[in-house]
Amino acid sequence: MNLYAQLQKIFGYSSFRTNQEEIVKAILARRDSFAVMPTGGGKSLCYQLPASIMDGTCLVVSPLISLMKDQVDAATAFGMKAGLLNSTLSSSQQFEVLTRLQGGHYDLLYLSPERLALPGFLERLKTAPLSFVAIDEAHCISEWGHDFRPDYLALSALKHELPGLPITAFTATATHRVQEDIIHRLALHQPLMTRASFDRPNLFYQVQLRDQVNDQIEAVVAAHPDEAGIVYRLSRADVEKTAAWLQKRGVKALPYHAGLDNMVRNRNQEAFNRDEAQVVVATVAFGMGIDKSNVRFVIHGDLPKSMEGYYQETGRAGRDGEPALCLLLYSRGDYPRLKFFIDQLTDERERKAGLTQLGRMLNFAEQPVCRRRAVLHYFDEQYGPDNCGACDICMHGVQTVDATTHAQMISSAIYRTEGRFGASHIVDIVCGAKTARIIDLGHDRLKTYGVGKDKSKRFWRNIIDRMLSQGLLISVGAPYPLLRITTTGEEVLFGREKFITHHIVEEKRNTGSLAKASADELPYDPQLFSLLRQLRYDMAKKAEVPPFVLFSDKSLRQMSSFMPQTPEALFQIHGVGQTKLEQYGQPFLESITSYLANHPEVIPQEMPESSVPMHTQPRMKKSSGAETLDATWQLIEAGLGLDEIAARRGLKSSTIATHIGELLQQGKAVLMDRFVDQQVQAEMSALFAKHGFSRLKPVVDAMEGRAGYDQAHMVRGLLISQGWTKEGGSNDESA
C-alpha cells in the first residue's frame, strides 16, 4: 500500500504533517499509540487514513455530540463510509446503525463515551468487525486534566473486554502526569508515543493595550471583510455589548455565552459554522464544539485566565494552515479584576494554581519577548529561530526608553494624594482632567496637576502598567485597587535610580493589517476567490453541510491562484482528493473557466511541478476540462480557425485562445501562423521581452488596437513553450 498515493487520493494532500505518518503506520501495524497534538495539528487524518485502508470499522470516541454530524459529513465528503451513534438518534435509527456495523458497512463510526458505558454494549461489539479504536480528547479520562468527564472512565474496560483491538489516544493538552494517567487507565500496551510541536507557524500573535475596546475590535473586523473571526470577552455583559456594537455597524455578529437559551446558542454557533455570521462574540464557553477551519482572526478583548486557555482559544484560528491573526487586548486593570474572582475560590490549592496561571499570563502580555517563543516556552518547548517573523515583537521591534521623568510625574501624583486613589484618577490628575471628582477634592491645585497634558491618557495608563510590572508600584485592594509606591519606586521618585522601560514600535496603529505569516504566500485573484467562496457556500447549502467541509480556504486560494481548468489540474490543488473532485469539482472548473473567459487580462500563476504519482491521476466521469482541451486540440489538428473552433464548440473565441495558450505550454505543436499574423507575433514577442510574462495588459496596450488579448494569450503560450521565461532578465519587471 502506497501511503502517499492514498493520502493524495483521499485527502488531496501531498505530504504528512509532523507525526502523522508514524501514527498511521503504528495503527496499520496494529500497535497502540498515544499522541499529543495541538489543535489543528491534523488528528483526524491519523485515524481516517488507516480506517480507509483496514478491514472492519474504526470506532471513534468523541465527547462532543454536537460535532459528530460535521465530522461524519467531513469524512463522507472525503469518500469514506462514516456513521454516528449517539442519543440524538431515534431507537430505530440506532438499531439500523448497529445492524450496519455488524454487517461491516462502515469505515468509521463516531460514538460518545456514554454509549460505551451502556450495559451490554461492549458485549455487542465483540461480534462486530472492528479495525481499531481512536479516542479523541483522551485527557477527559484523567481527573488531573482540566476537562475530566466521568463517562470517559468506561473506556478503561476496552482493553480488557476487547483484547487485541488496537487503541490510539489523542489529546491536545497533556502534562506528564495526565499523560501517564491516560496510558494507565486505557491500559495501552507499549504504545507508540508522539508529541508534536505546539508551534502554529501560520498564527500571527499580537498584544495591544486596550483603550477603546470596541473600536479596536471593529478595526480588525473591518480589515477582514468576509472573513470569519471569534471575539472572546470575559463577561456575558461585555459579550452582549460588543456583539451589539458590531451589529450596529453592519457586521454580522452573534453573541454566545452560557446565559443564552440552549436553542439560541446552537443556532448562533451553526450560523457561524455555515459562514452565515461573520463573527461570534463569546465567553470561553464557546470553542470546544468548533471545528471550523477557516477562522481568520481570534481577538481576546480581556486578559485570559491562563496561558493554557489563551493557547486553546487562539488555536481555533487558522486550522486550515492559512495565515490568521491572534490579537490580545489587555489592560493592567484586568489583573485585579481576575484576581478578585480567583480569590473567591475556597480550595486553597486551586486558588494558588489559579494565581500562578494568571501571573504567567500577565507576564506573557507584558514581557517584550517573541510571543511565539513565550507560548512555546510555556509548553516546555525551546523555539530555535531568533525572529519568528509572525508576532508583533519580532515584526515591529522593541525600543528601550528612559521614562524616568514620566515615572516621577505619576509617583509624585500618588505621593501627593497619599496612595488613596486608583489608576484612572491618577491619570486624570497628571493629564489635568476637569472631572467633578478632581474639583471636589481640590486636586486641580496639586503641583502635579496637568504636568502631563501633552500626552494621552492611554500613554499614562501604559506608563502605570509598566511601573506595575517592573515593581515601582503595587496595586492594593480589589475590585477597586489603589496605587502605592514601592521602595524601588521611591528610588526613582527621588532621582536615585532611572526607570528604563520598553515599548513596541508600531508603524501605525492598525490592528487590522494581517501580516503575512509565511513568506511564500501565494498571490491570488481576490475577485475569483470571492466568486468561488460564494459557489462553495451555495453548494454546501444544497448538500446541507458546512462550507469548509467542501473545500478549505486554502484550497480556494490555490484555485484562485493557479486557476485550474482541467480535472488533472484541479487534482493538484491542496485538499482536492478523488471523491471531492468527482462530487464537487465540475462547478468549480466551470466557474474558473468562465471567469477566465470574461477576464482576458488575467493570467494564472504557474503551478509547481506535480508530485503526484501517475497511478493516482484522477478519474472523472462527466465531461471535463481535460476533454475540453482535447476537443479543442482535435479541431486545431483538423485545420479549423479560431472562430470556427469557437462556433463548433459553442465557446467564446477568447476561451479557445486560452486553450491554445495552454496547449502550447503543454508542449503541443500548434502552428501559430494560422492564428496570429507573423508581424503581430514579432511585435508581441518584443513587448513580452520588455514587459515580462506575468501580465498581458502592458503588451496589449502597447499594440494600440492592432491585436488583443486572444493573440496575447497565444503568443505568450508560444514564448513560454520555447523557454523564454527562463531567460530571466526582463521577467516580471513590469509588476
Among 45, 188, 463, 472, binds ligand ADP (CB under 6 A): 45
Among 165, 246, 391, 528, binds Zn ion (CB under 5 A): 391
Binding mask 549-568 for ligand ADP (x = CB under 6 A): ---x----------------
DSSP 682-720: HHHHHHHHHH-SS-SHHHHHHHTTSS-HHHHHHHHHHHH
Among 8, 9, 16, 718, binds ligand ADP (CB under 6 A): 16
How far apart are CB 326 and ligand ADP at their closest, in Å? 16
**How many other C-beta atoms lie within 10 A of the C-beta of residue 198?**
22
How far apart are CB 23 and ligand ADP at their closest, in Å? 11
Among 200, 296, 319, 443, binds ligand ADP (CB under 6 A): 319
Angle between helices 457-469 and 423-431 (to 10 degrees): 130
Among 32, 34, 36, 40, binds ligand ADP (CB under 6 A): 40
Alpha carbons 734 and 529: distance in angstroms, whole number: 24
Q: Look at residue 370 and give the partner it binds from Zn ion, ligand ADP, none, a contact being a CB closer than 5 to 8 Å depending on partner kind.
A: Zn ion
DSSP 379: T
Among 23, 24, 34, 43, binds ligand ADP (CB under 6 A): 43
- The smaller minimum CB distance to ligand ADP, of residues 550 and 642, is found at 550
Binding mask 255-294 for ligand ADP (x = CB under 6 A): --------------------------------------x-
Angle subtended at Cα 595 by Cα 593 and Cα 599, rounded to the nearest 5 degrees? 120
Q: Is residue 39 within the footprint of ligand ADP (CB under 6 A)?
A: yes
Within 8 A by CB and 6+ apart from 719, the residues are 685, 688, 693, 725
Q: Is residue 394 within the footprint of Zn ion (CB under 5 A)?
A: yes
Q: Could you give phi then psi for residue 502, rounded to 5 degrees?
A: -130, 155
Among 6, 17, 271, 515, binds ligand ADP (CB under 6 A): 17
Q: Is residue 42 within the footprint of ligand ADP (CB under 6 A)?
A: yes
Part of the chain binding Zn ion (CB under 5 A), chosen from 72-80, 236-244, 389-397, 689-697: 389-397
Instruction: Please say whether the beta carbons of 27 and 168 come within 8 A.
Output: yes
Among 37, 280, 430, 532, binds ligand ADP (CB under 6 A): 37
Part of the chain binding ligand ADP (CB under 6 A), chosen from 38-46, 353-361, 601-609, 692-700: 38-46
Site for Zn ion in 618-637 (CB under 5 A): none
- The smaller minimum CB distance to ligand ADP, of residues 229 and 321, is found at 321
* CA distances in angstroms from 595 to 204, 433, 549, 697, listed in the order given: 33, 59, 24, 17
Q: Look at residue 475 and give the partner it binds from Zn ion, ligand ADP, none, a contact being a CB closer than 5 to 8 Å depending on partner kind.
A: none
Q: Is residue 388 within the footprint of Zn ion (CB under 5 A)?
A: yes
Task: Cite the DSSP H helix spans in 432-506.
Answer: 436-441, 457-469, 487-493
Among 320, 334, 553, 710, binds ligand ADP (CB under 6 A): 320
Conformation bin of residue 630: beta by default, left when phi > 0, alpha when psi is -120 to 50 = alpha
How far apart are CB 415 and ligand ADP at their closest, in Å? 53
How far apart are CB 27 and ligand ADP at their closest, in Å? 15
Residue with cell 462527466: 622
Alpha carbons 131 and 50: distance in angstroms, whole number: 9
Alpha carbons 555 and 561: distance in angstroms, whole number: 10
- The smaller minimum CB distance to ligand ADP, of residues 128 and 196, is found at 196
How far apart are CB 20 and ligand ADP at their closest, in Å? 6
Part of the chain binding ligand ADP (CB under 6 A), chosen from 35-43, 58-66, 206-214, 722-730: 35-43
Alpha carbons 486 and 471: distance in angstroms, whole number: 7
- The smaller minimum CB distance to ligand ADP, of residues 452 and 564, is found at 564
- The smaller minimum CB distance to ligand ADP, of residues 301 and 321, is found at 321
Q: Is residue 71 within the footprint of ligand ADP (CB under 6 A)?
A: no
How far apart are CB 136 and ligand ADP at their closest, in Å? 8
Tell me, what amino acid is at 576? Answer: V
Q: Look at residue 552 and give the partner it binds from Zn ion, ligand ADP, none, a contact being a CB closer than 5 to 8 Å depending on partner kind.
A: ligand ADP
Alpha carbons 427 and 386: distance in angstroms, whole number: 37
Residue with cell 471550523: 292
- The smaller minimum CB distance to ligand ADP, of residues 467 and 556, is found at 556
Alpha carbons 54 and 28: distance in angstroms, whole number: 7
Part of the chain binding ligand ADP (CB under 6 A), chosen from 43-51, 91-99, 155-163, 524-532: 43-51
Binding mask 344-383 for Zn ion (x = CB under 5 A): --------------------------x-x-----------
Residue with cell 508583533: 392
Q: Look at residue 16 and give the partner it binds from ligand ADP, Zn ion, none, a contact being a CB closer than 5 to 8 Å depending on partner kind.
A: ligand ADP
**Residue of this chain nearest to ligand ADP (CB atom):** 42
Part of the chain binding ligand ADP (CB under 6 A), chosen from 33-41, 98-106, 555-563, 618-626: 33-41
| Dihedral (CA of 32, 80, 570, 732) sign | negative
Compute the radius of gyration of the chain from its Cα atoms. 31
Q: Look at residue 318 and give the partner it binds from Zn ion, ligand ADP, none, a contact being a CB closer than 5 to 8 Å depending on partner kind.
A: none
Angle between helices 65-77 and 262-273 (to 10 degrees): 20
- The smaller minimum CB distance to ligand ADP, of residues 289 and 450, is found at 289
Residue with cell 494600440: 704
Alpha carbons 335 and 350: distance in angstroms, whole number: 17
Grid cell in block for residue 103: 454487517
How far apart are CB 316 and ligand ADP at their closest, in Å? 9
**How many other C-beta atoms lie within 10 A of the C-beta of residue 733?**
10
Q: Is residue 545 within the footprint of ligand ADP (CB under 6 A)?
A: no
Alpha carbons 80 and 52: distance in angstroms, whole number: 7
Grid cell in block for residue 384: 530555535
How buried is residue 66: exposed, middle or buried, by Cβ count under 10 Å (0-12/13-18/19+)? middle
Q: Could you give phi then psi for residue 432, rounded to 5 degrees?
A: 70, 40
Instruction: Please say whether the beta carbons of 632 and 660 come within 8 A.
Output: yes
Distance of CA 78 to the CA centre of its chain: 20
Grid cell in block for residue 578: 478523488
Q: Is residue 313 within the footprint of ligand ADP (CB under 6 A)?
A: no
Q: Look at residue 713 and give the partner it binds from ligand ADP, Zn ion, none, a contact being a CB closer than 5 to 8 Å depending on partner kind.
A: none
Tell me, by CB under 6 A, how many residues bind ligand ADP. Answer: 17
> Where on the chain is the footprint of ligand ADP (CB under 6 A)?
13, 16-17, 20, 37, 39-45, 293, 319-321, 552
> Where on the chain is the footprint of Zn ion (CB under 5 A)?
370, 372, 388, 391, 394
